[in-house]
Amino acid sequence: MLMLLESLDQERWRPTLLLDDAAGIEPLLERAAELEVPVRRVPPLPLGLTGARRVPALARLLRRERPDVFHAHMSSPVACKWALAAAVLARVPAVLGTVQVGQYEPPSRSASWQLRLLARGVDRYLAVSRDIATELVERLGWPAEKIEVVYNAVDAERFAVAAPPGLRQQLGGNKTRSLVLTAARLDAQKGHPVLLEAAIQVPDAVFVLAGDGPERQNLEELAGRLGVADRVRFLGRRGDVPNLLAACDVFALPSLYEGSSLAVLEAMAAGKALVSSAIGGTDELIEDGRSGLLVPPGDPEALAGALRRLLADRELRASLAGRARERVERDLTRERMAERVEATYRQLLGATVGEQGDLVESERNARLRAADWRFLLADGELLRSWRLPRPGAARRARRRLEADGFTDVRVYWAGPLPHRPPNYWLPLDSPEAVRYLLAGGRLGSLPGLVLRAVWRFARKAGLLVPIYVVGRPPGAAAGDDVDLSGGPLLLLTGGHRSINKAVGLVFEEGGEKPTAAVKFARVAEAEPGLKHEAEVLRRLGRERRDLEGVPRLRGEGRRAGRLAVVEEVVEGSPMLQVLNRGNFAELTRGVTALLIELGRGGGEDGGWRRRLVDEPLASFERSFGPVLADGEMAAVRSLLDGLGEVPSACEHRDCSPWNILLSADNAPVLLDWESAEPEGLSGLDLVYFLANCAFVLDGAIESGRTRESYARVLDPGTPYGRVAAAAIDEYCSALEIRPEDFHRLRLLCWIVHSRSDYRHLELEAGAPPSAEALRGAMFAGLVEEEIRFATTRFGPP
């Protein structure tokens, strides 16, 4: 927190430190004074009823002060609960919290629901590791779209020091006796007993423990019982950790759990070889065998073995330490952290970033969704809106426009929540659209019969806001427009990105189901993809009239200045909603059969290798090559050089459970063809489908554990692997593909899709992605997993 205060751009931000009147805050006050940061003192807000009673007073203080940002720094997901609630009640424009440590289990169902309710009001949570982000979403049920990973940072310059003369000798080190430093609070979390047990097996080292805490006496007694007291130095609390790091040979941290360890970051910044427990957060900072060594938590034998290995190999220590320092300087400096946090502040406040003044992606998307009403307007039509609830609001609005001479008047509700960008625009005068929305469960937060009854009551009482009324003014002539004849439009406008399309469903009077689906390009950059989808569907409809499982194109046009594509409505259940481990094999057989049919329709293309292999490979090397481990890019080239002749196919290129509908007889229908490659390669769609099914079943995308999930797909001894192996055997047999070529097609699949990874990272950052972001990219990680698999199967390149 103090590092952030020091690193913020003082010309843009004027921070105030808000502290409660509690014991032990003197160091914070002293440091704030050094930084010339003003401090406001407030009564403590403990987690119980006492804290709850003090929320109104803090909310009044915040309303008087009118801060732009309220940023809580939280030792656990529950910390600062009441302070955050006060900021939400005070309507501070941007409310966020940084969660430093996970491993939190709500003591009761009531506490769990309190946290979920609070998470709905807080604008953003910054988790200091992917592991904590996963816990917040999966265990605590917080909204995934509000969680962002921002790693802790370190003042790299502070740790670039030399050891003071004589310090090494004072600590007990010499030419024959190495120093192992652990700088950590003496608390059960830090795993010091494991370190002391490991010390027995490292007889030529002195173990230096910097820090104090409640376990000190117990640890001193344990060192005596284990017979290592003469080689363990308890230094107590020290303010010269950079000097201690400079004097030691190896840093060790045997913690049982962490958020994102500052001690590890400091050792990395000091350029020290280190050994740490392989725990959530730490394993995201250290790459085992490349920038440090990781051992299982609670395993003294493994810890001792890693220490002996490092102490015996000076070159290994230098290599690991150099890469660790490079990682800090590239991604984990305090300046980099401050940039990320400031970008979040600006994003939540709706500010602009970048030299061109472009909005960050999430803010741009929110503003576009709020203006998606434009797709409800045919040429020449106008719109009015009412935002205050009142009985009969929709009826009165309609009458007012009709009294003014408007024709073809339609009333829409932008729902479900008035203070959020709409997920849909529902035509209230269309009973068909209303029934469809309610029956389909599209209300999200309003499921079930009881809540539907509440919705109907709210509609009659005029509580549904905002209301938008569309009509054609007197004398206005209809212009050229996409043909949507048939009835009103139910407009669905969800999606987390501005390039997501708005989808309109057309209903005819008396019909139970929509008669057509219209896709609207919300931004200019979405038009080429949508136009490409129309071209692919037109071609498939012309060349493969008998092909099942593909929607039919009905027409094209424009609305609100954007491309609109009309397709037939495909009825069925989204595979994403029905997929489970029990039906995975059955559903895979159906999709495999469809992909085989698409593979049989491919044409001949003598230049396929340059277009479908060499060009994606060159793009991957430009984007991700700089962050790959040594030798990995060469391994990729070697593997793809061995790819033989494979049949052409019409590739969908987004064949995943969220783009597949299942008809009444479970036959799959592939939707969203905007990424399709009509003259592509066989195999890639099947690879993509199998992997994404596993990710859905494991929740791997949300948890960031896609590599682990994909490894199970590659292993035929696992349930996923058995299903995948059967599908691949059937596919390769039908299309005469050699098994060794299919292995290489798997690698090529992730090379191709890595381009979308890079584009999304670029959109999110509003600039070229950082090395840290590139290393965390999903498809790049799958490329590395394929390299590992191929090396095991085929040997090194």
Average pLDDT over residues 72-78: 87
pTM score, two decimals? 0.58
Please check whether residue 580 is in contact with residue 640, taking contact to mean a CB–CB distance below 8 angstroms: no
Amino acid 17: pLDDT = 92
- Of 40-49, 346-355, 471-480, give the range with the top mean pLDDT: 40-49
Reported as a single tens digit per residue, the pLDDT across 211-221 is 999 999 999 99
Here the tokens at position 140 are 């605590």
For 169-233, give the DSSP string: HHTT--SSSEEEEEES-SSGGG-HHHHHHHHHT-TTEEEEEEB--TTHHHHHHHHHHHT-GGGEE
Backbone phi, psi, residue 418, to 5°: -70, -20
Nearest CA to 662 out of 581, 593, 585, 576 is that of 576
Amino acid 453: pLDDT = 77
Distance linking the first and last C-alpha atoms of the chain: 47
Classify each residue of 107-128 as buried b or exposed e, where b means 16 or more C-beta atoms within 10 Å of its C-beta: eeeeeeebbeebbeebbbbbbb
- Among the ranges given (191-205, 546-560, 777-791), the one the predictor scored with the smallest mean pLDDT: 777-791
For residue 750, is pLDDT > 70? yes
Amino acid 284: pLDDT = 80
Tell me the fold of 2-149: Rossmann fold (3.40.50)
Amino acid 78: pLDDT = 84
Taking CA atoms, 251 is separated from 209, 213, 222, 579, in Å, by 10, 19, 21, 47
Nearest CA to 69 out of 96, 99, 35, 109 is that of 96
Rounded CA separation 97/95 (Å):
7
| pLDDT greater at residue 488 or residue 354 | 488
Amino acid 353: pLDDT = 35
When pLDDT is cut at 50, 70 and 90, the band that residue 329 belongs to is confident
Amino acid 440: pLDDT = 61
Please check whether residue 210 is in contact with residue 181, taking contact to mean a CB–CB distance below 8 angstroms: yes
Nearest CA to 749 out of 683, 690, 694, 704 is that of 683
Please check whether residue 412 is in contact with residue 468, taking contact to mean a CB–CB distance below 8 angstroms: yes
Amino acid 442: pLDDT = 45
Amino acid 360: pLDDT = 57
Q: Does 573-794 match 156-332 at the fold level?
A: no
Amino acid 444: pLDDT = 45
Here the tokens at position 597 are 């049919």
Average pLDDT over residues 11-36: 86
The helix or strand, by DSSP H or E, that contains position 52, with its residue range, turns out to be helix 49-53
Calculate what percentage of the chain has a pLDDT beyond 70.
92
Please check whether residue 178 is in contact with residue 208, taking contact to mean a CB–CB distance below 8 angstroms: no
Domain-wise residue ranges, the chain? 2-149, 156-332, 367-567, 573-794
When pLDDT is cut at 50, 70 and 90, the band that residue 356 belongs to is very low
Please check whether residue 94 is in contact with residue 123, taking contact to mean a CB–CB distance below 8 angstroms: yes
Please check whether residue 578 is in contact with residue 567, taking contact to mean a CB–CB distance below 8 angstroms: no
Reported as a single tens digit per residue, the pLDDT across 511-541 is 778 888 999 998 888 898 999 999 999 999 9
Domain range 573-794, its CATH number among 3.40.50, 3.90.1200, 3.30.70, 3.30.565: 3.90.1200
When pLDDT is cut at 50, 70 and 90, the band that residue 792 belongs to is low
Average pLDDT over residues 468-476: 83
When pLDDT is cut at 50, 70 and 90, the band that residue 773 belongs to is confident
- Cis peptide upstream of residue 193 (ω within 30 degrees of 0): no
When pLDDT is cut at 50, 70 and 90, the band that residue 354 belongs to is very low
pLDDT mean across residues, the chain: 86
Reported as a single tens digit per residue, the pLDDT across 485-507 is 556 789 998 777 778 889 999 98
Write down the residue that tokens 């139910």 correspond to: 490
Reported as a single tens digit per residue, the pLDDT across 224-239 is 999 999 999 999 999 8
Reported as a single tens digit per residue, the pLDDT across 240-267 is 999 999 999 999 999 988 878 889 999 9
Nearest CA to 723 out of 691, 700, 761 is that of 691
For residue 149, is pLDDT > 50? yes
When pLDDT is cut at 50, 70 and 90, the band that residue 772 belongs to is confident
| pLDDT greater at residue 258 or residue 711 | 711
Kindly report the CATH class assigned to 156-332: alpha beta
